[in-house]
Structures are given as structure tokens and as C-alpha cells.
Amino acid sequence: MYKFAMVIFLFLTTLSSATNAQERVEEIVVIGVRDTHTVITDDTLVAPADTAQLLRKMPGANINKNGELTGIAQYRGMYGDRIRVSVNGAKISGAGPNAMDAPLHYAPVAILESLTINRGIASVSSGQETIGGFVEAQTYTGDYGSSGDFGFTGRTYFGTQSINSGSVASGFFSLSNRNHILRSFVMQEQADDLEFPGGEILPSEYDRERVDLGYSFRSGGHEFSLDFARNNTKDAGTAALPMDILSIDSDLFRSRYTWQGNDRNFTAEFFVSDNEHWMTNYHLRRPPQDNMMTAGAMRYRRNWAVSENYGFALKMEQFDSMGSWLYGIDQHMSTHRSTITNPNAAPFYISNFNDTEREIIGAFIERSTSLGEHIGLDAGVRVNRVTMDSEPVSANLNPMNMMMGMPLMMNNMAGMLSSRFNASDLSQTDNNFDWFARFSFHTDSGTTWYAGAARKTRSPSYQERYLWIPLEATGGLADGNTYVGDPELNPEVAHEIELGFDMDVGNLSFYPRIFYKEVDDFIQGTPATDMLVRNFSQMMASMGMGRAGPLMFDNVDANFYGFDMESHYQLSSNLNLRAVASIVRGERDDINDDLYRIAPDNIVVAVDYRDSNWMASLEAVSYADQDRVSSTNLELDTDGYTIFNLNGRVNVSTDLEVSLGVENLFDKEYEDHLAAYNRAFNPDIAMRDRMPGLGRNVYARLMWNF
């Protein structure tokens, strides 16, 4: 009751801020009662290569940063597989078991057209598992011409930044007329190690290449598109993880067909991706050194991981006098393999994941309708069937065939762990049911009120079910703990409510939301009690690998609640004041503990000046202390901070734009609570210390459209 009262209190507090409205908030698009927040890349000056960084500009959203190309989306306290991330309609399951290639890795900023987040409760049509929200990235596809003659157009994008001597160069080219678009895209980006006020983050360099080819055709109400992309990431440091990226080679294919009729629309989508990933703990960071227990060469590790994905979606939207019906079926299949080896001992291997399969097929129906002159309703139901399985696993941790000693003991324990895992019921099936309902009420004064509720589900990831030996392959948790999975895990079930409104009082726009979410069977690491697992983990720790106290993925109960908002105040015809604020709490219900890696309370306040051909912004970004941390995950507190950013843009001509910006203007020293902990030797950062925030960064961008 206390928590629910807190939610009501937050809502009543927002009510006291204003009382009238005329139109919705700028840059928030509302269709029925489904509201979204979109960042348009051309209109937003950004320095980093990682698209996930743009989430920090959105209410309720943030990023779990494990590396410069390894950002994991967070929304209202949930992150990773709990958030459905779509790249041009496709779901991409990366190859890295630690999410080094999280989905937004496949939508680089240089080709990104827009990034959209569904604020609050996502509709059932947004995706199969949206327990934590829905994020959609759209890349450039080009525009049709206005006649039958073909014309050549394009866009070049150049960027540079001082914090790591980073640079990016890309070109988008298209040949089009009114019916056809032929397009291509090329990109090269690279950077050295990052700087912070106390030194450098080692390693944090990166190198990535991208090539895209595509074709679109339209005639009447029909449109068809076909696209292929090759995304190659080479050396990239991830100091918050046990290994760094040696390579990620990915082939992405997607096709889409749409038909628009008089009273109905039809959409068919199909996508395939093939991702191969190599990583090591020695080629970018300092290799393992000799210690009292073992030679450093015996702790060299190289990991080969692959993922294969394919899926489709079919949707039919039918219109009537009261609104519309939306029907659909969708499917996604992914297969993962991961093998750990030692380049100094060829017989050594760990079959980390062996052909783990996860298939989900779903069906939904959704209604958007008017219940009266001022009342609207969006509602829908979805059923998902999730099937998972794994092939048998094995390992050889005694490559020298020693007859005694620690390698023999560890190999024997690994054999017992693999035998027990292989004998368990690895084939699992979950039948999940989701629903949502959101009411909107538009008053005569212009205020739009919202109230929503939902039931959302998520089945375990392949790491949570099939991690059979204590390792840190945890989908990017980056807490420094080793984990084991449990094939018998139950799906998560969340029940949530959301309240809010849109209003505009004169020059003031205000767009707040409050939310409360109870999650049954929330999947969380808890202290492992199995003695075989504990003993194995203890021996690994004595050799300098991991911590002694392993965790096991388990079902617990949890809740999330909080408040987020966006507001604007037009100070004059040229001057605008804007703010985005986010507050979230994540707690265990079964014990007195907070959840891991929850974003601190934060607010962005900015002043924007816009003239006919130039603009400038001064931005203050403030994060509060975060002492609501997880003792289970051994999470450390962080202090609050405020940094200032300054940027400007000049339109030299209608086709040429030059931009310049400075992040962390005063070179403030701080810790980023969502950046996890250092796992690589660094004379400037102690092992397992919180990763530091970045120092002053001067950056520039040039875009030329032709």
C-alpha cells in the first residue's frame, strides 16, 4: 500500500503544476492513445558512435554502457532482453553471450534516420516480448522521385571527436524515380582509447565498417523493398567485460511488402541475420599474468560465438467508422553457439552454449476505437508460444592430461556439471498471454488524459536457462559475478498501470507519466547453494578468474515504480527552455534489496536558440546520488553530479550543415552508475572500480545532401 500511495502522490503532485491545455507536446507523436518519443538524427547533434546513447535524451530511458559500441537499452529500470528493440522492423539476436553486439549495435548513428521509444505501456502489436518497453531504430532508405526520370541523390556524413580521436565517414547514395529506389551506403568509423579527467580507459578503442545495398518498388497501393547489410566490427575494447571484441562479422537481410487499400492495409516482413563473433582477454588488454596458482598463459581465453536468426511478421489493419482492428502473427527463431578455447593449449575448450534454440511464435488482435466524442480506447491481446532447447555440452579443462593437481580437479568437476546438465530436461515450452488497455480522454480545454494497464510476459533468455558452468556470460550484466542458469525457470509476468496527461498552458507544454509494475517470477541472480557450483567457482577465483561467490538465475518477485516527464517553455520566438526528468525505483519483494543497475534520478535542462539558419543549445545534465543498490550483486554506490554541454549548428546552404559541440564543458570528474566496473588492467583505474565518466569532448559534424 505504501508503494501504491507513493505512485498516487507523484501523480497528484504533477496535477498541481498546471490546469489547462491546447495541443500535445512538441516532438511527442500521439496516435490514438499510443504515444512515442522520437529523436531525428539530422536534427540532433550527437558525438558518440553508439546509437544507444541517444536514449539518454528520452524520458524514462537510459543506457547500460559496457563499451563504446556495446550500449544496452534501459527503460524504466528494465534492460536487455526485456526491451524489444527493432532495427527496421527486424529483431536481431546478437552473437555475443555478453551482448557485446546488442541490437542497436546494428544501427550506427551515421546511417540512423530516427530512434523512437514507446513511452509507457507498449501495444501488443509492437512486438512479441515487450515487458520492458519497445524501441525502434530506422535507417535511411531514400525517397522516391516525382517523375519517371531517374535522379541521383545522396548524403555524406563526417564526424570527429577529441575524447578518443574518433572519426566517422559515410555516404548514402540513391538512384530513384517515382516507382524505384536503388540505394547503397558505406561507412568507416574508428577511434583510440577514451580519456577521462584521471587518465584513459584501457581498452576502449573501436573500428567498424558497414556496407548496405537495397531496392524499393511501388505501384499503386503496393510497395516492396529488399535490403542487405554487412556490418563488420573489428578491434573494440569493452573494459567492463571479461573480454574485448576481436571481430563481429554480420550479414543482415530483410524484405518488406505493404498494400494499402481503401479500408484495409496489409504488411508482410521477413528478416534473416547471421552473426559471427570472436573475442579475447589478451589482444587489446594486458594478457593474464603469472600468479602463485597458475601461469598466465594458462588463463588466456578466446571465445568464438555465432547466432543465426530469422523471423517474419504478417499484419492486417482494417478500418471502420469507429476506428480500426489490427490482426497479426509473428515468429522469431534464434540459434546460439559459443566455444571458449586457449590459444596456448589447443586441447582446452568449454562448450559454453551448444546449439541453444529459442523460437517464439505469436498472434495478436488489437482494437483502436472511439467510445465517444472525447474518449478513445486502445486494447489488445497476444499469445506467445516459446520453445527452447539445447544440445549436450562438454569441456576439457585439463589440456596437459595432468594426473593430479587443480586442472584435474576442475576438469572432474566440469565433467560432473556437464553430465548433470545434459541429463536435465533441456526442452522447455512456455505458453504466455499478454493484454493491454489504454484509455484517453480529451477535454474541451485541450488536455488529453491517459490511463493504462497491462499484463506482459517474458520467457528466460538462453543464458538464463542454459549457462551450465559458472561464467560471466550473462547478457551484459557486467557485475563481475559468475552465474549458472536453470532450465526450469518460469517466465516473468508483469502487471502494470500508468497514468498521465498531455497539456499546454500558453507557452508551457507538460507531458508527465507515473507508473507502477509488479513482476512475478522476475529472473534475478541469487546466491548459489549447490556445493559443486560453489567449489568450482572458488577454484576459478583462486586462479584469478571471477569471484568466489557464484549466483544462480532464479525466479523472485520484484516491482518497479516511478515518474518521468518532458516539458517545454517557449521563452520567445527564438528561445526555448526544455526539460526531461526520470525517476525509477526497482526493488525485490521477496527480500529487502534493491535491483541491480537502476538509473539514478536524473534531469536534463536545456536552453535552445534557433534562428533562420543556425541554432545553439546549452544543456545541464544532472544525476543524483545512487545509494539504492543491489547487495546481492555487490553493487557500489555512486555520487551525484552535473555536467554542462554546449553545441551549435549552422546551415551554410540548403544542402550543407556544419555542427560543433562540447560535452562535459568543465571537464567534470564523475562516475557513471550505469557503466559497470573495470575488468581490465589499467594504471589509471583499479580493477573492479566503477568505470569513470568521460572528460571534456569537443566534436564536430558535417552533413552534405546532394
CA-CA distance, 234 to 275, in Å (whole number)? 13
Q: Mean pLDDT over all residues of the chain?
A: 92
Query: How do residues 103-155 score in pLDDT, each as one tens digit?
Result: 999 999 999 999 999 988 999 999 999 999 999 999 999 999 999 999 999 99
Coil vs helix vs strand at 192: coil
Dihedral sign, CA of 43, 605, 104, 453? negative
Give the residue from 307, 313, 299, 320 showing the smallest Cα distance to 273.
307
pLDDT mean over 427-455: 93
Write down how long the chain is.
706
Under the banding of pLDDT at 50, 70 and 90, the label for residue 292 is confident
Cis omega before residue 203 (within 30°)?
Answer: yes
What the block records as the C-alpha cell of 611 is: 534562428
CA-CA distance, 141 to 138, in Å (whole number)? 9
Does the pLDDT at position 659 exceed 70?
yes
Domains of the chain are 2-705 (2.40.170.20)
Gyration radius from the chain CA atoms: 25
pLDDT mean over 164-174: 96
Encode 419-429: b = buried (16+ Cβ within 10 Å), e = exposed: eebeeeebebe
Confidence (pTM): 0.93
Does the pLDDT at position 25 exceed 80?
no
pLDDT mean over 315-336: 96
Does the pLDDT at position 596 exceed 70?
yes
Determine which of 10-14, 235-239, 320-324, 671-675 has the lowest per-residue pLDDT on average.
Answer: 10-14
CB 335 within 8 A of CB 295: no
Does the pLDDT at position 242 exceed 80?
yes
700: Cα separation from own chain's centroid: 25
Query: How do residues 518-541 score in pLDDT, each as one tens digit?
Result: 999 999 999 999 999 999 999 988
- pLDDT for position 557: 97
Under the banding of pLDDT at 50, 70 and 90, the label for residue 21 is very low
- pLDDT for position 510: 92
Does the pLDDT at position 633 exceed 90?
yes
